[in-house]
Chains A and B, each alone.
Chain A
């Protein structure tokens, strides 16, 4: 059984943590990823920094620039994935990013390297259901899933298109972009987003996580009630940005993840 299927098929609600890999350095990202796992994250989204992150707000955009300046990118992220996988055989690992770094590497080659590094699935923010069947086919050959995204603007037609794309590569879960906006928007109505995620899970036949705007125990709890789980991204990246020393950053990350873990466990 696929690792992500096992995680989503388990008893508890799923906590997904996004890290911009390489911010502030790839070594520290590995350390912070392990801190997330210790504090209760079930799945890690290993963010590949991209020069032109059009779906991201200023916090993740800044982190991406810092990471690229420090040598971050697809290869550095995959190197980190190997280390994280070796230390945490059960955690779900999603390679998260934009399409061009995968295209530049070559889709089959990139997917093969991801599989060897212990990645379970890919999530590509600028690859809607109609695009990227070549990537889905390559992923499928290597046993990797592709995580579809749905948004508040997604109509029944869009849900059908996302379902159809699952024929080309398995979707271990669905990422519900719960806010009209870029990452880091404040406008999340957690309970109604959770309800929408629950409805989409029925339509898609797959577990759905609430993806944008989770930054507190209360929002995590309210969103997770009717969803399979929640993702924390910007709040985590901001916590890292604000920490003065590696020790400060690690303890702040652990605190935030424990808090959100408590929230989803209350759901």
Chain B
């Protein structure tokens, strides 16, 4: 029997537009703009020109030889580990790829104001940067808890001319920032573009964000082919909402031999109530405009996620990841706060790269993934890894845990 035709705005059963009626015309307008403006040669030329001259793309794909040996001293499971260096993008993470695309689009659509939500502050900084470049006023909603733990990024946004609005409701993290941004958008929808930072939210956002971030996977695929003459066995990245992971995965989606692996935040453990492992532990629900895996309680109330990394501290996930999980094309693991901290130390000391806490979660699972692949195929694996961002923003969290010898103590040793 033929499968039913794919529904517009859906990834299998996931996605859609579960928003108040007031916003639907704006989503229609944005969908139309995606199909006309974003697809046009002129827009693509301008955006890609900025990626080259302003962001510093293409970002390098570098081999992490010392880290590979640290994870697998005898070379039995991990042959080659390639790091796709999004931390080297202007502003320090992959978020700028999407922010520049959306702010450029907002300008072309005649919008006079841009708003954004941010967790770790990386998307907020990227949006503030793009708005400075395009001379648009920018307001960034950020949970009050995240304002505290990501202070350097709050300062960066202010320096870039953006107004940071601390959100005091709920868990005072990314979820609540997104609620407040949506409320702002409902009120000023005709003049304002809402620049969503993750591949989540109502359609067309998951597709728009994925299309801008897929530059990561496009480049990585060409680079790994040039570097090792073959495709990797796996592509790995961390998943909060999932924008950097979907950007990397898109490059390898049709390469059936490339396993796609996402790593979520297990917080204090997936068997505790304090985690953000939505795909691992969630059920199908609706949050922030799309149907996807969500963490919610028996009564349907959204649960407060927990992660040491503000960027992964979110009880939802982009709908395409839910589809990739259920279809089996991708699989999703998790790493705890403590495992992420250990990975920050290890990567810093073996590769000289201070990675973001978000990124560190995926580093923590490389050894396991390599061993599984090696066991299945009888030879050591090659892995392309999405190094989504740098860790400078996390210094206040890290400094609270740093020990006299320079290593990092466990999460329980300091305030999260």
Interface residues of A (CB under 8 A from B): 50-57, 61, 65, 68, 73-75, 98-105, 125-128, 130-131, 149-155, 157-158, 177, 180-182, 185
Which residues of chain A are near B288, meaning CB under 8 Å? 52, 54
> Does B300 belong to the interface (CB within 8 Å)?
yes
Measured between C-beta atoms, what is the minimum distance from A104 to chain B in Å? 3
User: With A75-B299, A104-B296 in contact, do A128 and B21 touch (Cβ < 8 Å)?
Assistant: yes
Within 8 A of A (CB), among B1-56: 16-26, 28
Hey, what's the 0/1 contact readout for B181-192 against A, CB within 8 Å counting as 1? Answer: 011001111100
22 chain-A/chain-B pairs, Cβ below 8 angstroms: A50-B301, A53-B179, A54-B19, A54-B183, A54-B288, A56-B183, A61-B169, A100-B285, A103-B286, A103-B300, A104-B283, A104-B285, A104-B297, A126-B286, A128-B18, A130-B17, A149-B20, A153-B21, A153-B25, A154-B21, A181-B186, A182-B186
In contact, B21 and A177 (Cβ under 8 angstroms): yes
Measured between C-beta atoms, what is the minimum distance from B156 to chain A in Å? 28
> Does B149 belong to the interface (CB within 8 Å)?
no
Q: Give the residue name and chain of the A residue nearest to B7 (CB).
A: A130
Which residues of chain B are near A74, meaning CB under 8 Å? 299-300
Not counting A152-B22, A182-B187, a sample of 15 additional A-B residue pairs whose C-beta atoms are within 8 angstroms of each other reads A53-B179, A54-B20, A54-B179, A54-B186, A100-B300, A101-B300, A103-B285, A103-B286, A103-B300, A125-B20, A126-B286, A151-B20, A158-B25, A180-B22, A180-B188
Which residues of chain A are near B22, meaning CB under 8 Å? 55, 151-153, 177, 180
Which residues of chain B are near A185, meaning CB under 8 Å? 187
Which residues of chain B are near A73, meaning CB under 8 Å? 299-301
Which residues of chain B are near A105, meaning CB under 8 Å? 300
Q: How far is the CA of A177 from the CA of B22 in the complex (A)?
A: 8
Contact of B189 among A104, A153, A177 (CB under 8 A): A153
Measured between C-beta atoms, what is the minimum distance from A74 to chain B in Å? 6
Q: Give the residue name and chain of the A residue nearest to B303 (CB).
A: A51
Contact of A101 among B187, B287, B299 (CB under 8 A): B299
Q: By DSSP majority rule, is chain A's interface helix, strand, loop, or mixed?
A: loop
> Does B137 belong to the interface (CB within 8 Å)?
no
Within 8 A of A (CB), among B318-337: none
Measured between C-beta atoms, what is the minimum distance from A54 to chain B in Å? 4
> Does B284 belong to the interface (CB within 8 Å)?
yes
Which residues of chain B are near A98, meaning CB under 8 Å? 286
Which residues of chain A are near B169, meaning CB under 8 Å? 61, 65
Q: How far is the CA of A152 from the CA of B26 in the complex (A)?
A: 12
Measured between C-beta atoms, what is the minimum distance from A214 to chain B in Å? 17
Which residues of chain B are near A151, meaning CB under 8 Å? 20-22
> Does B361 belong to the interface (CB within 8 Å)?
no
Measured between C-beta atoms, what is the minimum distance from A166 to chain B in Å? 14
In contact, B302 and A100 (Cβ under 8 angstroms): yes
User: With A103-B284, A125-B20 in contact, do A51 and B183 touch (Cβ < 8 Å)?
Assistant: no
Q: Give the residue name and chain of the A residue nearest to B297 (CB).
A: A104
> Does B409 belong to the interface (CB within 8 Å)?
no
Q: How far is the CA of A263 from the CA of B413 in the complex (A)?
A: 62
In contact, A104 and B298 (Cβ under 8 angstroms): yes
Measured between C-beta atoms, what is the minimum distance from B179 to chain A in Å? 5
Q: How far is the CA of A150 from the CA of B21 in the complex (A)?
A: 6
User: With A52-B170, A180-B189 in contact, do A104 and B299 touch (Cβ < 8 Å)?
Assistant: yes
Q: How far is the CA of A123 from the CA of B169 in the complex (A)?
A: 25
